[in-house]
DNA sequence: TCTGGGGTCCTAGGACCC
DNA sequence: TCTGGGGTCCTAGGACCC
């Protein structure tokens, strides 16, 4: 294959920028976009907040400590998915070969089209300008011969950057670059590589493949290729079907009551089931995740005889798992996920809401069967269950990963 | 006052089989 | 003084990403 020209467009502080755009009072101020749950963390923060050392993943107390006048803004998924969809329309003016990688990031293969716009840099400038004019959001664009390099270049050019690294400039760029900058090399791999005396991408690219293979298995060859700036992965224009559909939540308080645990599991099962139903998927593996206060996290899965997307079938499978284990402590987080996914066709959409309602009632019945009548009524379930507003940066603008939780 | 939520992919080790 | 040896499949856990 001839050399490609791949562009990576990455919005700067996307959620925070959208919020500052939506509310002028937030502009120029340190803000942090957070989730709606009681025990939430900073999801994204404005550059003004970054200047104070506010980091993603900090809890609100840490963030407040770092920046006493920080403004917390609960995230609003609808604004971000809308903007993401509009961004995609902008990209489509420049090439049909687009991979919307996440809600704030996209790859564009501009090999065949850049000359129409005066070249890769000129094309990128036009995209940046168009996004700025339309949304008043800055983005950073990295251009390179493959996805790995374009992503890397955009990461190191933030904020509001634009850079094109050509094929013959890659090795110079990588020579002194720390390995942790590479997409796919996280803290653990960085630590292992450094223990081997490999600190830079240049060194990684020169390391004997036998050594890397003995330490990292089949990833060894992949790592060496990355060190040399090579990457086989190409843009995938079509979004693949999901392999899992799941929800989890850190509970407002650690709990030990089985009945309370099951009530949350019912809520999670319904969130999973309704999303699967909405997009026409069903699964035959149900997995329960439990996190204890010490952060030890336990998962156990079970298989169903048939694929399902019904709330109460998912829920019952979860309860079956719960019944099979002994809790070692109070529960901090619960998760329910559905996997072994396949597409289902027909019937469901028409009576979707009825089916959902029926499914929920069935599940409420199941709790009552177990604990005696009137422990949970439909009203008490509804009152108890406040649908969380889920903020997850890994969403895509369309398809099953665009999570809209209906009340 | 503690540490979110959505995913994908890989792997170590156990169960099981011949 | 002993404890085969492959192969496959599955599970739970973990690394990594946005």
Asked about A105 being catalytic, the answer comes back as: yes
Instruction: Please list, in sequence order, all residues whose beta carbon lies within 8 angstroms of the beta carbon of residue A119, skipping any fewer than 6 positions away.
Output: none
Q: A171-227 — its CATH code?
A: 1.10.150.20
The answer to whether A188 CB is within 7 Å of strand B is no
CA A401 / C1′ B7 distance in Å:
9
Q: What is the pLDDT of residue A360?
A: 63
Instruction: Please list, in sequence order, all residues whose beta carbon lies within 8 angstroms of the beta carbon of residue A341, skipping any fewer than 6 positions away.
Output: A241, A242, A243, A244, A245, A276, A281, A282, A283
Do A171-227 and A244-382 agree at the fold level?
A: no
Q: What is the pLDDT of residue A29?
A: 97
Q: What is the pLDDT of residue A174?
A: 98
Catalytic residue among A19, A48, A105, A262: A105
How far apart, in whole angstroms, are the C-alpha atoms of residue A363 and residue A383? 16
**Coil vs helix vs strand at A195:** helix
CA A9 / C1′ B16 distance in Å:
50
The answer to whether A244 CB is within 7 Å of strand B is yes
Q: A14-77 — its CATH code?
A: 3.40.1170.60
Nearest nt to A192, CA vs C1'?
C15
The residues spanned by each domain of chain A are 14-77, 171-227, 244-382
- Tens of pLDDT along A260-283? 999 999 999 999 999 999 999 999
Residue percentage of chain A with pLDDT more than 70:
87
Phi, psi dihedral angles at A18 (to 5 degrees)? -65, -40
Residues in chain A, pLDDT under 70? 1, 346-387, 397-399, 403-407
Residue A398 CB coordination number (10 Å): 13
CA A210 / C1′ B18 distance in Å:
34
Q: What is the pLDDT of residue A350?
A: 44
CA A218 / C1′ C7 distance in Å:
20
Tell me which nucleotides of strand B come within 7 A of a protein CB. Answer: 1-12
**Fold topology of A244-382:** Dna Ligase; domain 1 (3.30.1490)
Does residue A159 have a cis bond before it (omega within 30 degrees)?
yes
pTM of the complete model: 0.90
The answer to whether A288 CB is within 7 Å of strand B is no
């Amino acid at each position: 294959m001839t050399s490609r020209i791949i562009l990576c467009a990455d919005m700067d502080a996307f959620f925070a920028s959208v919020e500052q755009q939506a509310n002028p009072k937030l502009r120029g101020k340190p803000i942090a976009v957070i989730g709606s749950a009681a025990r939430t963390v900073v999801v994204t923060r404005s550059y003004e907040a970054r200047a104070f050392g506010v980091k993603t993943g900090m809890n609100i107390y840490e963030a407040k400590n770092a920046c006493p006048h920080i403004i917390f803004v609960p995230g609003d998924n609808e604004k971000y998915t809308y903007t993401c969809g509009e961004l995609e329309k902008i990209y489509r003016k420049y090439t049909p070969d687009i991979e919307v990688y996440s809600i704030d990031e996209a790859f564009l293969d501009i090999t065949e089209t850049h000359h129409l716009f005066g070249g890769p840099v000129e094309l990128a400038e036009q995209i940046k300008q168009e996004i700025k004019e339309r949304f008043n959001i800055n983005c950073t664009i990295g251009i390179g011969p493959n996805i790995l390099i374009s992503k890397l270049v955009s990461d190191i050019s933030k904020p509001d950057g634009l850079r094109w690294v050509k094929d013959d400039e890659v090795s110079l760029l990588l020579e002194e670059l720390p390995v942790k900058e590479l997409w796919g090399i996280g803290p653990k791999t960085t630590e292992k590589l450094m223990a081997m005396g490999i600190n830079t991408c240049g060194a990684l690219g020169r390391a004997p493949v036998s050594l890397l293979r003995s330490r990292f298995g089949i990833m060894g060859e992949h790592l060496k290729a990355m060190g040399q700036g090579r990457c086989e992965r190409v843009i995938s224009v079509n979004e693949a079907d999901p392999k899992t559909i799941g929800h989890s939540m850190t509970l407002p308080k650690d709990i030990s009551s089985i009945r309370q645990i099951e009530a949350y599991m019912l809520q999670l099962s319904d969130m999973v089931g309704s999303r699967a139903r909405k997009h026409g998927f069903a699964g035959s593996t149900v997995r329960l995740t439990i996190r204890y206060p010490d952060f030890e996290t336990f998962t156990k899965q079970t298989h169903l005889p048939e694929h399902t997307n019904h709330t109460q079938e998912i829920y019952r499978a979860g309860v079956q798992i719960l019944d099979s284990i002994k809790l070692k402590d109070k529960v901090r987080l619960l998760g329910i996920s559905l996997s072994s996914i396949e597409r289902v066709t027909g019937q469901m959409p028409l009576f979707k809401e009825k089916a959902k309602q029926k499914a929920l009632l069935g599940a409420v019945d199941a709790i009552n069967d177990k604990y005696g009548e009137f422990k949970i009524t439909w009203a008490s379930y509804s009152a108890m269950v406040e649908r969380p507003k889920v903020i997850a940066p890994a969403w895509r603008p369309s398809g099953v990963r665009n999570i809209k939780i209906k009340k």
